[in-house]
Every structure is written in C-alpha cells, then in structure tokens.
Structure 1
C-alpha cells in the first residue's frame, strides 16, 4: 500500500520536499551567516543568537511571500497547463493542487512570522536591558555609542527609562510589523473551513487584506533597526584586535570608534516580481469584467438549482473547466467559481448554480428562481465572466479508462464531460485514447436527479443507436428517501425503466461499496492506467484516495489508479 501511495504521490512528495529543502537551506545558511559574520559581531554581543533567529526566519518569510501569490494566479496556471507539453498526467495533477500548496506556503509564513516576532521581542528586551545600570564592560560601551558627536549608534533604545513598546510604535519597523501581523491573523483565521462555509463573503473580503500585507512587508525594513558595522569601519577597526580594548577606542589610533549602519531592506526584492505578475492577473480579470456576456436562457430546476446559458465573444472551453461569475448588482467585488456544464461543441456555455450561501441566494432571487416567474433574459441583471480555467477533469481523455464520481451538486463538471464524450463518439474521424468511462453519482434528494437525468437519458438513447452502449457505464445512488417514495419504488420496480430517473439502468439505494466497485474495475482492466476523478465532500474524497492506493498494483505492469480531485 505504501508503494502504491508513492506511485501516485511521488512527484508531489518530491516537490514538497524540494520546497522544504529550500526553506531549510535558507534558514540554516542565513542563521550561520549572522552567527559568524564579522560586521555583526558587536550586534551579537548585545543580542546573542536571537539576531540570527530573527534574520533567518525573515529570509524564509520573504521566500514564501514570493511564492504565495503564484498558486492563485489562475491565468498563469491555465497558460502553463495549456502551452506546456509536460503538464499532462502527473505534472497536471500538481497544477490541480495549487490551492493546497497555497495553504501550505501560508502555514510556513505563519510559523516563520511567529519565530521572527518572538526573536525580535527578545532582541528588544536585550536592547533595553543593555542600557541598565547593571550593564558593564563591552556591552555597556556598545550601548552608549552615539551619545557623543561623530558616533553612530548600535542600540536603538537610547535610555533605560524608554518605554520600549511606545518607542517601537514610533518606528517604521514597529508599525509595519504590527500591521503585517494583524493582516496575517485576519487572513488566516477567516480562511478556516468553518468560516468559509459559514460566510464565504467574509473570507473573500478579508483575503484582500493581502494588499496591506504586501505593502507593509515591502517597507518593513526601511527603518534599518538591526545594525551592523560598516565595511569602511571594518577596514579601520580590526574586531579581533579591538574587541577586548573597548576602553581605548577613542584614544588608540589602531582602534577608532566603530561605525554602524542598518542593513539594506530586501523584502521588496523578493516579492516585486510576483506582485507585478499578480497585478497583471488582476488587469486581465478587469478586462474580462468589461466584456459583454449575453444570457440566452434561464432554467429553474428542482432542489434550488438555476441553469444559465450564456454567450461571450471568443469564449473557448474544454470539458471540466470552470469560470468565475460576478453580478455587480449583488456585489461589485465578489467573484464565485462555477463549473461549466456545457460541452465545447455547443454554441453556448452554461452553469448550474445551487443555493449555498448569501451570494448564490441573492443571485437565484435576482433571476427569479425562488418559485417566481422566470424573467426574460434581456431584463436580467448583468453578469461578468472570468475564465475559463483548467481543472483536474480536463485530463479525463488522457487515460484509457476513467472513473468519474460525483456527490450532490458535484455532478456539474461531469455534465460537460459526458456531453463532450458523446460528441466525440459521434465523430467518425475522432481518435480517442479513452475507451471506457465509469460514472457514479451519489445524491440525497431524488428531485436533484431531474435535470441531470434528462442528459443521461439522451446519452443512453443516442449511444444505443450508435451501438456504443459499452462505452459508458453509469451507476446512480440515492441515499435519502421517505416512506411514500419507498412504496412507489416497490410498486414500479418491475418496469423496464427506473421509476426515479426514467433510465434503463436502475437506481441503487444506499451508498456504494467502494471496495467492491474498485475491485471489479481493477479486475476488468488488469494492466491499465485508470484515472479517478471526483467532485464532492472531503470525507468521501479521503475514502476514494484510500481506495486508489489500496487497489493499485505495486507491479509497474499492473493496474494503477490515479486520483484527481476537482477543486477551485
């Protein structure tokens, strides 16, 4: 089982360990440099190793702040996915894990920020204590530098009676550090799963505190509080010779008073490139926002699902891709992702939207989907569309066998896929690597089947006519029903078509036995690479990932399941 896990996740493991290795290298290299560098020897006399801890964590912070924006630059990711031949198979799956990597980098930023803040609080206390009457020797001499003309200071706390907290908040480093910390806490706490589910809008708005975060980060080091000996001073003031002769510094020609200056700020150099790249991303989004979107059809389905058909100039899509929608009359800032349910071969693109929050509720109300009379398309509120963007499902056609699993409204991305499969099957000249599709849909409410059952019925009929019934094997599971439904199902069980869906394939009642299903698929395709694609809740995702590992063969010539989760 471990071998199968390595087979499926080896590239992800290599990339994560490479990223961790770079972080570890930067931390250790910077730590050792500040522990050994001559220009900071006198600084270390006051601060000790806390200086190295603060600077090493700062470099790791800069590195990860450089990376944090890249995984959420969706136009960049779509460009890489679409133009690079290497972004197929395992490489494409890494692009699909962009959100997970974004979170991983965020956790690393939080850890290094904590180390950095703790180290600087310790530094501040050491600076303060070195001005006390108990300080003596070289420590006292260094802290008093700057009290006479032609001297530069090393200790930014000038007297023992200084209120260090108040003094800190009068500096650029102190104010920006506080702002950075508050912005980071706000962003991370509002990004928790609980907050996102309870109020996606809160998550969306607070995430824009990143603008303040990056601006404050860029100027954080401008105050140059951490100081070291200047290169010119090092040439005249030999530390090895002079450090034990601190009483003679002003009198001895060979030991002139050392001069100090702050380290040049570098955070802006790390983040400038990604920030510019992300600004380009936002400009592209704004340009797309200005483009006209024509709504051609509005359909209200059971279970609170709204279907929108739209057209937009030069809009090109692939099965499984998604778009972001904005309705300015509801919110001028919020964009929400929705999977496309139309096929590329159709002359429109469509989405199915379920009520799942304040924004979607307002949208369904605006479009008359709450039991009201549907409005004419020309009278509907304006929509803006950004996309389409690539997702895991676009790789379905790259496997000889694909297993598509949906739970609830997670079926939407598979609507486009199944339509596209049918169109491709109808083309005599089409050469498909994909030879078999297993489709599973688990749903709690029988009414939710109605809009999708029409599509399946059409596919079932047309594939029967084309003699390709073997190509698609679908299994529908209903997990919730009442007593009246149970009686109705029992009375009509012997009919040729299913009483719930109207399909020839009967609906299953209860949850799938995934061990049995995967075992059978592995038996049917003993030496195949099988892509497993899922859209739905986390609990089921963990089960399916486990099944992929469990039923993949350790033998390279055996069956291998490759797990792909739809996420955006």
Structure 2
C-alpha cells in the first residue's frame, strides 16, 4: 500500500504539516481506453446523458405510435385520420415526459443537495440550466409535430364527415382541445422567445415576467388533457368523433411529482428569502462595480456558492443571481455587482453610488439603505475546488467574484489547518480589459502574497485593454526602479495580452504528473470555449497522466 503523503505550508503562524492522504498510482491502459477515459473527463457524462435522453424520447414516441396504430378499437379513426392520430398522440406523450422533468431542473435547493452526493460523478447537475434549455427545445420540436399532425387530423375529419361535424378551423380554434392548445402554444412561444440569450441579457425584466407564463402553460396542459379528440370505442359510421373522448386528463399523472417538488421549492425560497436581512456596508469600486455587504445570520455559505438577491423597492418579484465574494469564515455575506443594466443601476444608486450620469445632478444622498432579501446559497462548480489536488482558477473581469470567496477560504484554511486538505496548489488567472478593475480585490491578493503562501498560490494577472502614454511611462519607470507591479501593486508582474493557454496547461501538466486538476472558470462564453478545449487537449488519463476537469459557473 502506498505511503500517506504530506505537504508543508508556511503561514503567519509558522510552518504547518497537512496530510493529503494516499494517492494510488493509476494502472496502465490501452490507447483506446485512454482515449475513452480522456473523453469521459469532461465530455462523456454530458454527451451520454444528452444522447440517452434523446434516445428515450424517440423510443417512447415509437412505442406510443405502434400501440395506437395497432389498437383494435381505433380502426374507425385510423380510416378517418390515418397516421395523424398516432403521430399527434405519441408526440403528446413525449411532451408530457419532458414537462414532467422540466421543473426538476430549476429546483435549485434539491440540485444543491443532490450534487454533493456520489451521483454528481455520473449526472452533470451543474448543467441544470443547460438541460432546462435543452428540454425546452425538445418540447418545441414535439409541439411542432403534435400541432402539424392535428391540423391534418382536422382537415381529414372535415373532408370525411363534412357538414355533420365542425369545420377544420372550428376544430382548431373553437373546440376544447383546439382552444386550449392555442393558448398553450402562445404562452410557450412567448416564454421561449423571451428566454433566448440575446433577449434575456438585454431585457431581463421582460424575460423574468414572461417566463412566469409557465403557470398558464401548465394550467393549459392540465385542461388540454381533459378535452380529447378520440372516442374509446368504434362508433357507427358517420358519427362525429369529438364528443365522447378517449384518454381523459392524463397530464397530471406526469406532472404531479415535479409540480409538488417545485411548489415546495418556491415556498422554501419565499420563507427563507424573508428572514431578517440588512445591508451593513456599501463600497463603490472603479469600473462601475459596487460591493454590497449584507448581514443575515440564517445564511450559512460555502466558498464558490451563489445567491439570489431582491430589492422590493425596485422590483418586488425580481430576483437576480450573484456569486458570493465573502468567505464562510466572515460574519457577513458580500457580493460585487457590475452596474450594466436597469436593475443594477437603480439598485446601486439607491445604495448611494454615483457614476456621473446626468440624472444624478442635484440628487441628494440616501438617508437609509434599502431593504434586501436573500435566497440561497446554492451550489456551483466552483464549490468543488477543494476536491482536487491542484486547481486553475480563471476569472474574466467581474467573473473573478467566485474566486474571491475561494481565495479567502484558502487563506483561512492554510493559516488555520484543520483536518485533511487535498488541494496542494492553486494557479489563479485574472484577465481584465480595464486596468482599474484590478483594484476590486487588490487588498486580498496583496494579503495572500504577504502571508508567504505564494508557493501555494501563483497569481497571474493579464491586461488585455490598451494603456495611455503616461501610464506606459509610469510602468517603465517603476520597472526600472524594481518596485511592485505598477498596475496591480503586487509582486507578481502583470502580463499584457491574452494568456497562452497551451503553454500554461503544458506547464501545469509538467509540474503535476498523475494529478487531477480542477479548471474552474467564470466569464464570457468565448473564453470558456477556449479553456474547455484546452482541458480536453491536455488531459492524459494514463498511469502518470494529468487530468483537467473543467467547470463553469452556470446559473
């Protein structure tokens, strides 16, 4: 059995020995097995889960189609509406299946709890919002199939039964299933179109309120199932097939479990969000970033988590997600808000921040701070940083916020060692376009350097924006004098331009053979894609290889 390994750290309280446990060697594998294991590190669970879900839908549609096409008591209807009947009903079955899962993907308390179990290794719980969107598009597809099939059914009924029955347009718009179907479709159309990323980011309030049409959507589905288009028994030739129906209201059987789970979720969130909370401190940082410190004794957090915050004075029903920048060891909860939209601008100004806008002229400072409500905290990928032997933390601009909480916690754990610590090395990369942004967490980074733990944490700052002539001269003078970095004030120099991720990953892989490295990121999609590809490119799931596990903030 391999011996237990230990790591020594130097902190303000002296040198500490920390046991990291036994690291068993990996066995030799074939090339095919290595390629498969490499794929399983970042792509396998997500792609397998996606393909499996698509396969389940197709299989369920085929099974329903076969059952309806071969049912002996539906021979008359097959002669009237042909394949439209099994197509519409089978598509409806798959819609019911997707709707049964849809609400589970936004039960954040349930997901935060389950992701801490062994199931997190097999199910990508951190991709719950991505899966929510994927299910929504699946519903869009099967809704299209369902509607097209039914319109053919309406036309065939009109053609076969003529004046004895309602016309195709009357069936589509005035009958029970037709009318409820139109309402459901309209509600779902508004929900989907307002949730498209471009619309959601630019008009968040419209997205937030429009998405609550899910009440109309699910209510309509419950009613839609009560109006059936097909009779149970073969009627005599010429009788209208729309009065006595087959099937009944079946949607509730699919929806009841997720509906109850979501109802409990919302009740818990409402009760928890209204517990005693107040703002204790407001700090206005450069580049239109505001730090809010909140006191809420009932809020117990972990590093890397996020919360939802609501300010009733601005919007009583608007809850916005923000990553925590405070450590669990602090007696307050803090967030850093980048002021870019209507809600953040109103909230910052209500807290007394001023940005030189025209509407601020003559505006008196507030006499009190606003009431806020906090919901959470909720788990995220960054929460798993301490599960790895080494970690690469990458923040872009305000995307650095989750790592502020993690770095504070690392500082505390190193200076107050308590039990087993698996994490041995942290590479912190902060990429900013504006040099003033480095002031947001300058004190924290300087403290980390002063505590003599820079052997444990390597700080790398990158400035991608341009500099003025006088700023360039100042940098040259300071470099010649050998003082701290002119941009950040740190001993670690600032790099200019974008990081070369291939060189960085090659260096980490050389320094940490046979190690699991967590690569955690928060920031724009373009940089996320580059990091994701780099993780796959440099992963080697061999006996002495380094595996890079990619995780991104996704809320």
Output the TM-score relative to the length of structure 2: 0.88
1:548 is aligned to 535
Aligned 8 A contact 1:219 1:268 in 2: no
1:110 aligns with 2:144: no
| TM-fit CA distance, 1:482 | 2.5
Checking the alignment, whether the CA contact within 8 Å between 2:275 and 2:298 is kept in structure 1 is no
Unaligned runs of 5+ in 1: 133-156, 234-242, 250-258
Could you say which residue in structure 1 is the equivalent of 2:297?
Answer: 313
How far apart are the structure 2 equivalents of 1:105 and 1:202? 21
1:36 Cα shift? 0.1
> CA 1:451–1:374 in 2, change beyond 3 Å: closer, same or farther?
farther
Choose the corresponding residue for 2:44, options 3, 7, 10: 10
Q: Which residue of 2 aligns with 1:255?
A: none
Q: Which moved more, 1:348-357 or 1:552-561?
A: 552-561
Cα deviation 1:418-455 (Å, max 9, x = unaligned): 00000000113342100000000000011111121111
For the pair 1:303 / 2:287, whether they are aligned, the reply is yes
How far did 1:267 drift? Answer: 1.1
TM-fit CA distance, 1:114: 0.2
Write out the 4+ residue segments of structure 1 that deviate beyond 3 Å after TM superposition: 371-376
The count of corresponding residues between Structure 1 and Structure 2 is: 510
Q: Find the aligned partners of 2:417 and 2:245 in 1 and give their Cα distance.
A: 75
CA distance in 2, matches of 1:359, 1:384: 15
Paired position in structure 1 for 2:444: 455
1:488 paired with 2:477, answer no
Pairs within 5 Å for 1:11-160: 11-82=45-116, 84=117, 86-87=118-119, 90-91=121-122, 94-132=124-162, 158-159=164-165
Q: Are 2:513 and 1:526 aligned? A: yes
Q: Is the 8 A contact 1:78 1:390 kept in 2?
A: yes
Q: 1:223 aligns with which of 221, 227, 242?
A: 227
Number of the residue aligned with 1:437: 426
Counterpart position of 1:150: none
Match of 1:382 among 349, 371, 384: 371
The CA distance in 2 between the partners of 1:412 and 1:374, in whole Å, is 31
Aligned residue for 1:96, secondary structure, equals helix
- Flag the structure with more relative contact order, 1 or 2, with Cα contacts below 8 A and sequence separation at least 6: 2
Is 1:172 aligned to residue 147 of structure 2?
no
- C-alpha contact 2:306 2:377 (8 A) present in aligned 1: yes
Residue 395 of structure 2, aligned match among 406, 416, 419: 406
C-alpha separation in 1, matches of 2:293 and 2:244: 67
Structure 2: gaps of 5 or more residues: 1-33
CA distance in 1, matches of 2:515, 2:554: 25
Cα 1:167–1:56 shift into 2, 3 Å: closer
Partner of 1:281: 265
Give the distance between the partners of 2:297 and 2:413, measured in 1 at CA: 24
Partner residue, 2:186:
182
Q: Name the structure 2 match of 1:208.
A: 212
TM value normalised by structure 1: 0.86
Secondary structure of 1:68's partner?
A: helix
Cα displacement string for residues 367-391 of structure 1 (whole angstroms, at most 9, x for unaligned residues)? 1112489968x81111000000000
Q: Distance in 2 between matches of 1:379 and 1:261?
A: 62
SS at match of 2:65: helix
Post-superposition offset of 1:472: 0.2
SS at match of 2:440: helix
Secondary structure of 1:493's counterpart equals helix
SS in 2 for 1:330: coil
- Residue in 2 aligned with 1:253? none
Which residue, 393, 405, 430 being the options, matches 1:416? 405
Contact 1:479 1:510 in 2 (8 A): yes
Aligned equivalents of 1:80, 1:119: Cα separation in 2: 39
In the superposition, relative to structure 1, how do residues 276 and 425 fare at CA in structure 2: closer, same or farther (>3 Å)? same
In structure 2, relative to structure 1, the CA distance for the partners of 1:290 and 1:7 (3 Å cut) is closer
Question: Residues of 1 paired with 2:66 and 2:256: CA distance?
Answer: 27
